[in-house]
């Protein structure tokens, strides 16, 4: 039975991290009517925990990703820049850019073997070495010896990006009340949330790690996700706003640092890279002990005098690849009325939206009737705060 108070949209999206929010904007721009349903807070999984780097591919020309992925990544910075200047795509003019570039730091004591390989990368990518007078404060001290390269990578304050995306479409973004789940009607794009019926032509699942449970509820068994865990290090009380990949003998960064302004006027460093991947098997205490020993050695110019230390664990959720390797780009799969998608990287959210739009066009999904008044019965979700702004133990 069709209830006249049902919500009717072309596309219903589950999950409001960067992937779902960017997609919502793109679909509305394409003339589709869409609505987004969030189980907790927007970005609560990976997006607000991320380092916010909009990779341009340079880091990955070091051999970490297949060439196809590098090409796709290279296309992303101009798309993000257009959005940040409100000239094309979503209006992100209110979002905060933390840095317009990152640095590749190759300390002499660990990096000398790399420099040969590095010169090839310099030829192929937009990597330029910079003179010491231009080194950022967090790397520059008389005791710091090595090379610094500037990378054309933006670093964004992710909560402010999510806020800007939400502002454009607030009436279409709703929270699923705690304890409620959407029951899909036998594989159709029809469901109820807290008594409100919702009908769509397609349901898109962009719930990050939550996609697995939604797939099970939709009765889709063949599409699977993989989780790749990280144990990030946090260093509060830092004076320097550093955005840098510290590279050692291998091409994989030993540590990638992004600095997030705190209310007290200093910065919290979110440290990823090998230290966070290898730290997965370590206790919080052991990882902090390692970070206290290694980070001052890798970043001798930084002042750790007032540092306070913590860690957090988070899973990267991606479409499953044979052997558990990192997917080359976003994964978008279609089964009946359902589309499931993982961006693989925050930077690739526009590429995910592009693939979904192409799929809808290929499947002849056309803008049709739309009625969203009853969405007002559900609450608006808030933006999640990053782990370092939540209560946590510091040592
Ligand atoms: C520590 C870390 C650092 C990273 N750094 C970078 C970086 O610098 N640059 C980069 O490009 N990428 C980075 N990434 C990867 C990037 O963060 C992710 O690829 C991206 O944020 C995934 O976005 P998403 O929207 O798919 O998922 P998420 O951000 O996880 O969002 C999923 C949303 O779905 C909601 N949800 C869950 N279950 C349900 C449900 N049943 N119904 C409705 N909603 C639901 C969640 O609450 C959440 O809001 C990093 C990842 C991590 C973990």
- Structure confidence by residue, pLDDT tens digits, 107-150: 887 655 555 555 555 555 556 679 999 999 999 999 899 889 89
List CB contacts of 330: < 8 A, sequence separation 6 or more: 19, 341, 342, 343, 344, 348, 351, 352, 355
Pick the last residue of a domain from 317, 349, 375: 317
State the distance from the centre of ligand 1 to the C-alpha of 23, rounded, in angstroms: 14
Predicted confidence at residue 117, as pLDDT, reads 56
Q: How confident is the model at residue 59 (pLDDT cuts 50, 70, 90)?
A: low
Q: Are strands 202-205 and 196-199 parallel, antiparallel or unpaired?
A: unpaired
Q: What is the position in ligand 1's atom list of the atom closest to the CA of 214?
A: 41
Q: Which residues of 92-107 are buried (b: 16+ CB within 10 A; e: fewer)?
A: beebbbbbeebbbbbb
Same domain, 178 and 291: no
Q: In what order do the strands lie in the sheet with 7-8?
A: 7-8, 196-199, 190-193, 183-184
Predicted confidence at residue 186, as pLDDT, reads 76
State the distance from the centre of ligand 1 to the C-alpha of 225, rounded, in angstroms: 13
State the distance from the centre of ligand 1 to the C-alpha of 315, rounded, in angstroms: 9
Residue of minimum CA distance from atom 52 in ligand 1: 50
Same domain, 137 and 272: yes
Pick the last residue of a domain from 317, 350, 381: 317
- Classify residue 32: in a domain, yes or no: yes
Pick the last residue of a domain from 289, 317, 345: 317
Indicate the top mutation candidate among 22, 101, 175, 207 to test ligand 1's pocket, ranked by most ligand atoms within 8 A of CB: 207
Q: What total of structural domains would you count in the chain?
A: 2
Q: Residues with Cβ within 6 A of ligand 1?
A: 14-20, 37-40, 42-47, 49-53, 55, 176, 206-208, 210, 213-214, 230, 232, 272, 314, 316, 342-347
Helix (H) or strand (E) holding 72: helix 67-74
Same domain, 140 and 236: yes
| Share above pLDDT 70 across residues of the chain, in percent, rounded to a whole number | 90
State the distance from the centre of ligand 1 to the C-alpha of 17, rounded, in angstroms: 5
Q: What is the position in ligand 1's atom list of the atom closest to the CA of 352?
A: 26
Question: Quick one: 82 exposed, middle or buried, by C-beta within 10 A (0-12, 13-18, 19+)?
Answer: middle
Closest to 310 measured CA to CA, from 221, 226, 388, 212: 388
Q: What is the position in ligand 1's atom list of the atom closest to the CA of 209?
A: 30
Same domain, 380 and 359: yes
Closest to 168 measured CA to CA, from 91, 93, 80: 91
Say yes or no to pLDDT of 289 above 50.
yes
Same domain, 144 and 236: yes
Q: In what order do the strands lie in the sheet with 146-151?
A: 128-129, 146-151, 102-107, 244-247, 253-261, 267-272, 225-238, 308-319
Give the pTM: 0.96
The CA distance from 234 to 385, in Å, is 15
Domain that holds residue 174: 7-47+160-224+321-389
- Classify residue 188: in a domain, yes or no: yes
Residue 143 burial (CB count, 10 A): 6
Higher pLDDT among residues 258 and 1, named by residue = 258
């Amino acid at each position: 039975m069709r209830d006249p108070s049902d919500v009717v949209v072309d596309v219903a999206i589950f999950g409001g991290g960067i992937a779902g929010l960017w997609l919502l904007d793109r679909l509305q721009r394409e003339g589709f009517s869409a609505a987004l349903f969030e189980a907790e807070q927007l970005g609560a999984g990976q997006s607000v925990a991320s380092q916010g780097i909009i990779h341009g591919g340079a880091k990955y020309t070091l051999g970490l990703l297949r060439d196809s992925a590098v090409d796709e990544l290279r296309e992303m910075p101009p798309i993000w820049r257009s959005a940040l200047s409100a000239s094309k795509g979503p209006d992100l003019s209110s979002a905060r850019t933390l840095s317009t570039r990152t640095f590749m730091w190759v300390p002499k004591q660990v990096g000398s073997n790399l420099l040969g390989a590095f010169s090839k990368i310099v030829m192929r990518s937009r990597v330029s070495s910079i003179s010491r007078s231009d080194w950022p404060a967090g790397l520059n001290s008389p005791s710091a010896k090595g090379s610094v390269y500037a990378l054309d990578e933006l670093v964004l304050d992710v909560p402010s990006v999510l806020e800007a995306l939400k502002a454009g479409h607030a009436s279409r973004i709703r929270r699923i009340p705690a304890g409620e789940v959407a029951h899909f009607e036998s594989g159709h794009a029809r469901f109820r949330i807290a008594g409100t019926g919702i009908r769509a032509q397609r349901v898109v699942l962009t719930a990050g790690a939550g996609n697995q449970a939604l797939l099970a509820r939709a009765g889709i068994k063949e599409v699977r996700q993989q989780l790749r865990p990280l144990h990030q290090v946090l260093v509060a009380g830092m004076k320097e706003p550093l955005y840098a990949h510290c590279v050692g003998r291998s091409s994989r960064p030993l540590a990638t640092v992004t600095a997030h302004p705190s209310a007290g006027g200093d910065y919290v460093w979110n440290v990823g890279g090998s230290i966070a991947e290898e730290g997965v098997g370590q206790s919080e205490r052991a990882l902090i002990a390692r970070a206290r020993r290694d980070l001052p050695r890798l970043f001798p110019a930084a002042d750790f005098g007032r540092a306070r230390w913590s860690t957090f664990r988070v899973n990267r959720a991606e479409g499953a690849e044979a052997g558990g390797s990192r997917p080359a780009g976003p994964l978008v799969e279609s089964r009946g009325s359902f589309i499931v998608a993982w961006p693989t990287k925050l930077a690739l959210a526009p590429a995910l939206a592009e693939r979904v739009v192409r799929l809808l066009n290929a499947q002849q999904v056309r803008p049709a009737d739309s009625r969203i008044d009853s969405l007002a019965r559900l609450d608006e979700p808030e933006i999640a705060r990053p782990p370092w702004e939540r209560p946590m133990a510091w040592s």
